[in-house]
Structure 1
Amino acid sequence: MNADNLRILELKDLYVNYGGIQALENINLFINSGEVVTLVGANGAGKTTTLRAISKIVNPRRGEILYNGRNITRRQPHEVVQLGIAHSPEGRRVLARQTVYDNLLLGAYIRGDRAEIKADIQQQFELFP
């Protein structure tokens, strides 16, 4: 794997339950640096649960979540946010009157370098015009 294809996220044998209901079973996924990935599936297929597990809103029953090579499976949600992973569910309209830019800026409140934040936001606008 060269530097351009550095693995940034990996899910290994991930299982998530909600009470007695198994929501995810044996999920394996890896994402390399520079890739744009979309989860597609029917209602109830596990898309949201997968994202909730990555952002630590729910804890996996089994498996591993690796971010930049670090195992974050047992980390607390605030620790995962400090690494740069956050979950922003659709349709909640929490800050509906704010612009997309303002919402992204708010999401980066934990970071200190304002110039780097603005550059990162600009990069997102170029990726998703």
Structure 2
Amino acid sequence: MRNTIYYIVGGSLASISIPALAQDAPMQDAAPEVVAESTAALSAEQQASYDGWPAEQQAQFDTWPGEVQTYYWTLTPERQSLFWRISDANKVTLAGLSAEQQAQAWTQIEGQAAAQAATAGTETDGM
């Protein structure tokens, strides 16, 4: 079971695109009342951050289930940036993992991001 989760998350996360924000279609299964309730429960600092986002980013955040929105605010700023770049389905999966599994998934995500940044840097340097 444990390895299956890693294969699902690892395989899905392997396709993240670090240079560009994900252009996934908004999730359709988020209940509006859950979204409104969790968005209304933001701290002053979170609300200020949310208000500074482009409308498209706010709209995408508003489609996430409440537990995904809550999980987002627990992340470091670096991980929040990476979180935007993974698919909404992977966000839901990641938010639902145990703390140990999340830590392992983040190790993979950050490793992939570093590898992609290094590859992009060497391609740019060669031009």
User: Could you tell me the TM-score, scaled by structure 2's length?
Assistant: 0.26
- Larger helix proportion, structure 1 or 2? 2
Higher relative contact order, structure no. (Cα contacts within 8 Å, ≥ 6 residues apart): 2
